[in-house]
Structure 1
Amino acid sequence: MKYLFYSILIFVFASCNNNSSENQTDEKSTHSEQSEILSESESIKENTPTNTESQTQKTEKELKTVEDIREEYQVIMSKITDGKIIPSSFDYMCNEELEGKLTYFSENGELRRIVRQSGYDHGELIREIFLKDNKPFFIFHHMESWSFDVEANQEHAIRKEITEKRFYIADNKLIKCLEKEFVNRSAAKNNPVSVNIPNKDVECSGLSDLMTEYELVLKYKNQTEKMGCLE
């Protein structure tokens, strides 16, 4: 009986260890996906809140540094993943040329993230705005433009030029700006992936243009039906 009892204990202990390892792997994978937009080339500390109290403390924290911004970004993305921030969206079409979609993520009536997707004949633009206390603190732009790849030995091959920009904002000022550019080709076997392309520090400018875009999309936060041009 004692032999059987100890055998069961050893089996249960080993099973718990295996489950713990699998859970840790899943958590790291999710954390990696959430960190991608913020900055692939710079590591983010493993300090995502683990309970409601710590998340509340981070929400109340004033954002002063790039690290503060990264932490707040992680808080928002974690809540979206957990279904604690619910999105609402609508589509728009402008002059039968530009079509897009606006998605708003709100937490207790406060906007936390806005995503604007716009598509046209030869390209696409995605703009994401992250907010705290109704003020943008991080903005992400993903731009694609495509053309026929005349250098490819393949009919109808496409060349896609991709540009990504990241803007960090504190005290109504741009404190850090990053940019990366790369090309994808439909005829290529291996194309570069954004997560593997390092960001470059660039001179910060154009805050007024970013705020103009924010004020434009803010006007339609209660829109639910498809509409025409954003004005």
Structure 2
Amino acid sequence: MKTRKEPTDGRAKIHDESIKPDDSLNSSAHQSLETVAAIQDAYTQTMSRLEKGAMDSTFFDYDCHGERNGRVIYFTEKGSLVLIKHYYGEYSHHEVHETFFVRDGKPFFQFRRATSWSFEHGAAEGATKDQVIEQRIYLRNEQPFRCLQKNYVMRSKANDNPIPDQLPNKDVDCTSAASTLTSFALLAKYEQQPTTGCLAEK
């Protein structure tokens, strides 16, 4: 497994801008994560520490028979896992970025962006379009309780593409979010025993 100090790059705006955290919330790292506002507050604190270079990270790259390849990065503080980032692509036309925020070994928030691209028929030669789905999943006691989603299209030859951060999130049913816990459990298993091949249940 490769080890490095995570560089301080730009903050990813992965929380729901339409829901403002309660300024009166206790900023303690051990505050209860029972509400959307409390989770957003914990997210903000985690991102701040990440940007300051306060976390250590380890990562591994994998390739599953050329069908899926990606990278998993684990961020820790004082030996405790606080963040998992997973990037992977499938067949060059589909890619996913997912991030899990973790406390006491349990996920409390997931952000997932899935992008599928194709050539745009009827447009300029070589024009492509990206179909993007962003999901924000809030978890309480390891159960999704609020799920937000935004869908948009980015066109390579367009001058009026949407600005993702300015698009509103829509509340959606959390039934399909059950896979969040399966994905987290799978990635967590590889923290101490990484692989260069397929990610699979052990």
TM tier relative to shorter chain: 0.7 to 0.9
The answer for the alignment partner of 2:66 in structure 1 is 96
Structure 2 unaligned blocks of 5 or more: 1-7
Q: Is the 8 A contact 1:143 1:162 kept in 2?
A: yes
Of 153, 156, 167, which residue of structure 1 is paired with 2:137?
167
Does residue 199 of structure 2 align to residue 227 of structure 1? Answer: no
Does residue 76 of structure 2 align to residue 70 of structure 1? Answer: no
Structure number having the greater helix percentage: 1
Deviations 1:196-231 (A, max 9, x none): 11000111113432111111101111246x601011
The answer for the alignment partner of 2:150 in structure 1 is 180
TM-score, normalised to structure 1, is 0.77
Does residue 181 of structure 2 align to residue 211 of structure 1? Answer: yes
The answer for the alignment partner of 2:113 in structure 1 is 142
User: 2: distance between equivalents of 1:45 and 1:36?
Assistant: 18
Q: Is the 8 A contact 2:142 2:181 kept in 1?
A: no
Structure 1 unaligned blocks of 5 or more: 1-29, 49-53
Deviation at 1:44, TM superposition (A): 4.4
TM-score, normalised to structure 2, is 0.87
Deviation at 1:40, TM superposition (A): 3.3
Deviations 1:34-73 (A, max 9, x none): 471112333446789xxxxx8xx62111211111100101
Letter in 2 for 1:150: H
Deviation at 1:86, TM superposition (A): 1.5
- How many residues are aligned here? 191
Of 25, 31, 36, which residue of structure 1 is paired with 2:13?
36
Q: How does 1:125-140 map to 2 (within 5 A)?
A: 125-140=96-111
Determine which structure has more spread, i.e. the larger CA radius of gyration: 1
User: 1: distance between equivalents of 2:80 and 2:62?
Assistant: 23
The answer for the alignment partner of 1:60 in structure 2 is 30
Q: Is the 8 A contact 2:19 2:37 kept in 1?
A: no
Residue aligned with 1:201, SS? strand
Q: Is the 8 A contact 1:41 1:196 kept in 2?
A: no
